[in-house]
Structure 1
Amino acid sequence: MPASLRASALPTGDLDTSEIRSPLDLNSPDHATGRVDQVLSRLEPERLHAALTYQMSRTDSSSLRLTLEAV
């Protein structure tokens, strides 16, 4: 199901748990279907950042999709 960041809310972080919470709107092809919060542990965003940094430093960005699928 497609999702996008909720326009009226910003991601937040919790210093006690190191979680990052991103408010999302869920959509079907023709209308909104709901709202959820995506919650990531500290390790997940760190891995994503590392993968993106690595790929952005390479001249061949065609493998970016493969690296992100492994994260």
Structure 2
Amino acid sequence: MREDICEHMMDDDDLDPSDIGLKVSKGEATLNRTAEPRHAKRRAEDCAASVSGIKHVQNNLRLKESQAEGKTG
């Protein structure tokens, strides 16, 4: 399943998975480390969820520093 998720991420033109950490255990995929831009967090989650056998995706991705600094609030 891990390999399938990685392939889905690599095939997605709107996603750079180079800084995304992935762990798969018992049908659960856990995404961690960083993603950029903001929509990449959701794209990575969608890639993982689309793989047969994945029952849950835990998305712990954070925006890279450059994205977070630009946020006003």
- Confirm or deny a common fold (TM above 0.5): no
Q: Which has the higher contact order (CA 8 A, sep 6+)?
A: 2
TM-score normalised over the length of structure 2: 0.26
TM-score normalised over the length of structure 1: 0.27
Max Rg structure: 1
